[in-house]
Amino acid sequence: MAAKSTPEAPAAAAPPARDGTAAHGAPPLFRPGLEGVPATQSAICDIDGRQGILTYRGVPVDQLAHHSSFLETAYLLIWGELPTIFQLNAFQQDVQMHRRVSFRIRDMMKCFPAGGHPMDALQASAASLGLFYSRRALNDPQYITEAVVRLIAKIPTMVAAFQLIRKGQDPIQPRDDLAYSANFLYMLTEREPDQLAARIFDACLILHAEHSLNASTFSARVTASTLTDPYAVVASAVGTLAGPLHGGANEDVLEMLEQIGSPDRVEAWLDQAIASKQKIMGFGHREYKVKDPRAVILQGLAEDLFLRFGHDTMYDVACRLEEVAADRLGPKGIFPNVDFYSGLVYRKLGIPRDLFTPIFAIARTAGWLAHWREQLGANRIYRPTQIYTGSPQRPWLPLESRPAAL
């Protein structure tokens, strides 16, 4: 087990000096995973991990999930205030106008291997936008606004395009008469979605739109701090989101539920998993010591979908797992996180499993862009220090003088 903090340092210890040495002769602080270390100041999102409260710009996420739309929430996150009706209409229209992606990008995507992961396809296509919009005018408000609109508009189109391309079909064009989420589901399935399905999908995007300084957002801010272009910022964040300890967990949750198979097998499976020190996917969070508030809302959305479109027996497995895990892992503050129920929602919407994380990326683009703007507003390049643990200084040896490998 990795040590949590080495050495245990007083909370109010002086920060390390600029040359990497500790102030006042104290040993430099090292917290693996930067746990508990503030790496920025931010006014975007707040998490109360003990009470299970999440707010975007001060507005509780459950109110947004029930009353807002993804585009309104994105506006709130990125520009800091809920839009007026005029601002919202203008933003929606701008996004609608920029949904299409260049045929060159679609052609490039046709060269991607069909068996490749859609997150890799998304990372490459997001980065390629920088080739088309290469003017890097970070002091120009117009440039910032256009970059925000382009990324929010085009990321879903690229996710849907790769889905069709890998099936050997041509991507279909966005439909101007459909709202953001309905249009994405249409581009993905080639069918106009049911209104409830589109509304629930939109709420899922709201719930995934932002979550303070998680790994991908930190990655976005580090990239932004070099003053590179926003397409590189989003591409680096997509790459970070792809890992199974972050956005990739919702794929693994479904695999785990299917592996368990039925509610009566949950208890034995969980005990064996805990005994073998296996991480239970969809459980645990660095910030929450109670059930993730997003998991509570997603569970409700999953139930709404089951009522309308039929039950999913994997939901019974999930509920039993949550019940048994409360007993085994609850005392350690490990409860379902956002990924535990989101996979069940997407599965009921007929979305292929390896698109779950790209959909997370569609939503989180709003948060990444909010952090991009905030970073630019008070920028200092990220350059942390390290504690060197390697060899002391030693001479280079000619080949014939080197000891034989063991």
* Structure tokens given for 110: 């046709």
**Site pattern 182..221 for ligand COA (x: CB under 6 A):** ----------------------------------------
Judged by CB under 6 A, the stretch of 107-115, 189-197, 199-207, 336-344 that binds ligand COA is 336-344
Q: Is 129 in the site for ligand COA (CB under 6 A)?
A: no
Kindly tell me which residue out of 62, 202, 210, 339 binds ligand COA, with binding defined by CB under 6 A. Answer: 339
Residue closer to ligand COA (CB basis): 130 or 343: 343
Q: Is 25 left (phi over 0), alpha (psi -120 to 50) or beta?
A: left
Q: Is 284 in the site for ligand COA (CB under 6 A)?
A: yes
What are the residue numbers of the active site?
Answer: 285, 339
The least distance separating ligand COA from the CB of residue 338, rounded to whole angstroms, comes to 5
How far apart are the C-alpha atoms of 335 and 332, rounded to whole Å? 9
Kindly tell me which residue out of 285, 291, 320, 371 binds ligand COA, with binding defined by CB under 6 A. Answer: 285
Are 105 and 125 in contact by the 8 Å Cβ rule? The answer is yes
Judged by CB under 6 A, the stretch of 120-128, 159-167, 279-287, 311-319 that binds ligand COA is 279-287
Judged by CB under 6 A, the stretch of 170-178, 201-209, 335-343, 361-369 that binds ligand COA is 335-343
Residue closer to ligand COA (CB basis): 150 or 294: 294
Residue closer to ligand COA (CB basis): 277 or 402: 277
The least distance separating ligand COA from the CB of residue 89, rounded to whole angstroms, comes to 34
Quickly tell me which residue has 């080495």 as its tokens. 6
Q: Is 33 in the site for ligand COA (CB under 6 A)?
A: yes
Quickly tell me which residue has 């970059």 as its tokens. 147
Q: Is 1 in the site for ligand COA (CB under 6 A)?
A: yes
What number of other Cβ atoms are within 10 A of residue 86's Cβ?
8
Residue whose CB is nearest to ligand COA in the complex, by number: 284
Kindly tell me which residue out of 117, 286, 289, 353 binds ligand COA, with binding defined by CB under 6 A. Answer: 286
Residue closer to ligand COA (CB basis): 176 or 255: 255
| 224 contact partners, CB below 8 Å, separation of at least 6 | 230, 233, 371, 372, 375, 376, 379
CA atoms 183, 185, 190, 196: torsion sign? negative
Judged by CB under 6 A, the stretch of 84-92, 146-154, 180-188, 275-283 that binds ligand COA is 275-283
* Structure tokens given for 133: 């919009």
Q: Is 279 in the site for ligand COA (CB under 6 A)?
A: yes
Q: Is 118 in the site for ligand COA (CB under 6 A)?
A: no
Q: Is 299 in the site for ligand COA (CB under 6 A)?
A: no
The least distance separating ligand COA from the CB of residue 246, rounded to whole angstroms, comes to 6
Q: Is the peptide bond before 32 cis (omega within 30 degrees of 0)?
A: no
User: How many residues sit in the footprint of ligand COA (CB under 6 A)?
Assistant: 18
Q: Is 335 in the site for ligand COA (CB under 6 A)?
A: no
Q: Is 332 in the site for ligand COA (CB under 6 A)?
A: yes
Q: Is 284 left (phi over 0), alpha (psi -120 to 50) or beta?
A: left
Quickly tell me which residue has 């064996």 as its tokens. 272
**Site pattern 75..114 for ligand COA (x: CB under 6 A):** ----------------------------------------
Rg of the Cα atoms in the chain: 23
Q: Starting from the edge strand earliest in sequence, which strands make up the sheet with 59-60, in order? A: 45-48, 53-56, 59-60
Q: Is 338 in the site for ligand COA (CB under 6 A)?
A: yes
How far apart are the C-alpha atoms of 304 and 133, rounded to whole Å? 41
Kindly tell me which residue out of 61, 148, 249, 344 binds ligand COA, with binding defined by CB under 6 A. Answer: 249
Kindly tell me which residue out of 78, 119, 235, 281 binds ligand COA, with binding defined by CB under 6 A. Answer: 281
The least distance separating ligand COA from the CB of residue 37, rounded to whole angstroms, comes to 13
* Structure tokens given for 335: 């409860």
Apex 187 CA angle, 175 and 94, nearest 5: 45
Q: What residue ranges bind ligand COA (CB under 6 A)?
A: 1, 33, 245, 249, 279-286, 329, 332, 334, 337-339
